[in-house]
Structure 1
């Protein structure tokens, strides 16, 4: 039982650790201490669902619906262009956000919606969690697949909460105006580059 758990952890960690759109968003919420644990929890929940779908056969189902993949791709491109533009605009204007979390149901709802959009409108999430993890799990014996899924979920748990908590811990330094502007530029360019690569792949 332990071996497939370790395998799942290692594969899950290798897929989730490269800095991507979702990780950049978790990092930005942690720096500003804006419901960063809520964001990490939502990302983890989405990963949990998608990992289970992938490990237990959902990859074949997703691969059989090219129209769904196309819809996710173009929806993701549109979202990433808009959100990336907002980050670059904030950097251009030199906006500096407070370290104090903005509370209230409207702000919380906006963060929930944005977190779900960053996660579920990014086709790379489905490629990593459903397709790749699913293909690796398919090579294991049926009784080992649950352990593999557990290991992958543990990797996501450690990563998302670790990233959010570390960013919040370092926020007094990371939230300096010059650093904030750099983070905004990095996030904006990252989102636009991912949008460009998605659009190029879809058009090809």
Structure 2
């Protein structure tokens, strides 16, 4: 029970802050005509988190963090990745039909969700550095419970996020409001990029 609660609280704490993954899932929930059409993004993001958490708990975190310069390299990659994603979010414009973070097809949802989940070093470092290292205090059985709790929170969170986005979209029919939401999201993503570099290098 202790391992389950620990894993659930830790996962919730890591997944709660606004990030590119959360913003994309919320945005798909808001822009798709029906909640069910956002499920490809939700399921893909949840599966990617399941993979990362499983690898972290299995001990990959210890190996990665021991490689000299790996954290700095991942942080630099993450900085440029987040700056680029922020730019895409900023220039999206629902008013002229050029919203690049709009209602994606199922295939594009899967591709984009996988990229923001697996190619985002910020998320990788958090999963490996926090969940992975926190799991070392448990034995084999407790590690499974710890990982399960973290994975369960991830799935429930993404489902809830898309659902909230779907409900919010019903109140935000104006394209200008959606544009402001995208621009606000861009500032958050750029702030994350700056913080990532600051945390590691400064």
Q: Which among 122, 125, 143 is matched to residue 124 of structure 1?
A: 122
Partner of 1:23: 22
Q: Give distance in 1, aligned partners of 2:126 and 2:80.
A: 21
**CA RMSD, 1 decimal:** 2.5
* 1:1-204 map, 5 Å: 2-33=1-32, 35-90=37-92, 94-95=95-96, 101=103, 103=105, 108-201=106-199, 203-204=201-202
SS at 2:17 equivalent: coil
SS at 1:129 equivalent: helix
Structure-1-length-normalised TM-score: 0.83
Q: Give distance in 2, aligned partners of 1:65 and 1:27.
A: 35
Q: Give distance in 1, aligned partners of 2:96 and 2:72.
A: 35
Q: Give distance in 2, aligned partners of 1:13 and 1:144.
A: 19
Determine if contact 1:73/1:122 at 8 Å carries over to the other structure.
no
Q: Give distance in 2, aligned partners of 1:147 and 1:197.
A: 32
Gaps of 5+ in 2: none
Larger mean Cα displacement after TM superposition, 177-186 or 24-33: 177-186
Question: Following TM superposition, by how much is the alpha carbon of 1:133 offset from its aligned partner in structure 2, in angstroms?
Answer: 1.0
1:79-120 Cα distance to aligned partner (Å, 9 max, x none): 2222211222235x85566xx9454xxxx4433332222222
Q: Give distance in 2, aligned partners of 1:192 and 1:11.
A: 24
Determine if contact 1:27/1:163 at 8 Å carries over to the other structure.
yes
Q: Give distance in 2, aligned partners of 1:145 and 1:114.
A: 30
Question: Following TM superposition, by how much is the alpha carbon of 1:52 offset from its aligned partner in structure 2, in angstroms?
Answer: 1.1
Q: Give distance in 1, aligned partners of 2:138 and 2:9.
A: 15
Question: Following TM superposition, by how much is the alpha carbon of 1:71 offset from its aligned partner in structure 2, in angstroms?
Answer: 4.0
Determine if contact 1:32/1:175 at 8 Å carries over to the other structure.
no
Structure-2-length-normalised TM-score: 0.84
Question: Following TM superposition, by how much is the alpha carbon of 1:202 offset from its aligned partner in structure 2, in angstroms?
Answer: 5.2
Gaps of 5+ in 1: none
